[in-house]
Amino acid sequence: MRSTISKGKSSFAVVLVALFVLSPQLVRPQTILETNRGKYAMVASQHELASKIGVDIMRKGGNAVDAAIAVGIALAVLYPEAGNIGGGGFMLIRKKDGSTFALDYREMAPAAAHRDIFVDEDGNVIRGEGGSTIGYRASGVPGTLAGFDHAHRRYGSGKVKWAELVEPARKLAEDGYILSHRLAALAIAYKEHLEKYPDSKKIFLNNGEFYQEGDLFKQPDLAQTLGRIEREGATEFYTGRTARLIAADMKANNGLITLEDLRNYRVRERVPIRGTYRGHEIISMPPPSSGGIVMMQVLGMLEAFDLRSMGHNSSAKYHLYIEASRRAFADRAEYMADPDFADVPVSQLLSTNYIASRRASIDVKKATPSKDIRFGDPVTGGGSDTTHYTVVDPEGNVVSNTYTINDLYGSRVTIKGTGILMNDEMDDFSARPGVPNLFGLIQGERNKVEGGKRPLSSMTPTIVLRKDGSVWFAVGARGGPRIISAVMQTVINIIDHDMHIQQAIDSPRIHHQWLPDEVFHEPFGLSPDTIEILKEKGHTLAARPGNLASATGIMIGGDGTRFGAIDSRSDGAAVGY
């Protein structure tokens, strides 16, 4: 029997139900937190108010897609460092009839962008303001509202109007909400760059007076922007007054985005990545996200090993996981990019023969240095920050959505008079192929900067099915390339180690991305013995441990109960009914 632990974070009183179930290893007490259970529907997001908004939409007759849109717009107000209408992302939808859709509303490079736009006359990558991470030139054309509009028109219930999805967020921006300690402190931590841009300083730093925990935080400019979008539809962002304000502020500050760029933005429908792991079908995002391919490659390499018998935190298991990740991320660097601009050999990278060839190069007794690992030859062989939320509705429709403005507070630029905080997604291109980006990722020529192109991403919204074809759980994460590791290890924890989704998300994790050649790990995540054994095998561990991404997910029990899970590394709430 599978474990049924779900670790709640609500401040409300909870009812604990202690059970004893037999696992393959021992008999242990299990706990269910009633606040994270829902008989009919569930939303798990990074803010309790956003989750409640999603639930309210479903109570009105909306489906999971409608709810996901309302949650996403609300998070632009409630979780401004990552939630957004100034960024983009990916939405994975599985309808109750089993049909699955992957929406790519990733940001696009402005038409004026080109391969060498972020290098100086000496060929060096421009760092800081004026480069790909900070300032007006760092932003790609936002896709969030276009993506939400597309999803509403094609996959919404038809019972809830667009205005009803925007209004809760507009009202929160106008009336304000009480700041948490985390959000108040976070803005101060990023003041060095936020204060350089007048509207960012005004909104997030209270004109230099700084907000404190418990203050009422209002965003009147954003409320007006959302009001226009509510009345006129999502196209207002791309062709109306909001678009003109964005283009004018960009032009005045040497930015790249023009009115024509906004008008030309298009959502793409992609074919989801599908694979299996130990008999369970896994559905995830295709390029320009790298998450689905990297995850399926790693799981494919690991499937030949008995991870269950090795144990969750064993050095043997972690050694294999590191080696598989090392190889998959090397392939990521070389082959993955926007498929509209580059030939991405998806089927070859996921072929059984190719994955077997990559697995065959793993030495179970010692590490292979990354300098000796290059990308494979699949032709002959056979993005820090982001937010994720998950929605399951009463009919069984599922949405797994990840969207981003890249780094916390994106480019740090808030467009004058709009309240819109812009992304710094241009850093997810290769400013100079072979030179590390913000997250230390090495990326290749296929991911060079080109006008109209979408940057490579690590976002990994994922849905996993039971062997009978029913939805088992859906999960995703925030945290740059570590998103992929968080999602993969959640999948492994549930399938190989019989964990409930809350246990699986909260458990310690590690990360390796080929280069730099070091194992990132969490405080108290590895025992001293395990660390020593990994070092003896030749692994280099990062000098400073730190939290590796933050995940949210929903699991559906055999009786249909929805279990919502919020990562203890972050904040948020799972709300159901």
Q: d(Cα 7, Cα 329) in Å, to the nearest integer?
A: 32
Question: Which residue in 4, 242, 386, 530 is the catalytic one?
Answer: 386
Task: Find out whether 516 and 330 touch, Cβ atoms under 8 Å.
Answer: no
**SS3 of 489, please?**
helix
Distance from C-alpha of 498 to C-alpha of 503, rounded to nearest angstrom: 10
Q: CA-CA distances (angstroms) from residue 253 to 75, 258, 261?
A: 27, 12, 16
Only one residue has tokens 């241009």, namely 426
How many CB atoms are located within 10 Å of the residue 480 CB?
27
Residue 137 CA to residue 118 CA, distance in Å, equals 9
- In the annotation, is 418 catalytic? no
Phi-psi region for residue 267, left (φ > 0), alpha (ψ -120 to 50) or beta?
Answer: beta
Tell how far CA 333 is from the center of its chain: 19
Which of 472, 401, 499 lies closest to 7 in space, CA to CA? Answer: 499
3-state SS record for 550-572:
EEEEEEECCCCCEEEEECCCCCC
Q: Supply 119's token pair.
A: 């290098």
How far is Cα of residue 101 from the mean position of the Cα atoms in its chain?
A: 17
**Interior/surface letters 12-41, b for 16+ CB within 10 angstroms, e for the rest:** eeeeeeeeeeeeeeeeeebbbbebbbbebb
3-state secondary structure 396-465: CCEEEEEEEEECCCCCCCECCCCCCECCCHHHHCECCCCCCCCCCCCCCHHHECCCCCCCCECCCCEEEE
Cβ neighbors of 57 (< 8 A, separation 6 or more) are: 66, 67, 70, 160, 164, 165
Q: Hey, which residues are catalytic here?
A: 386
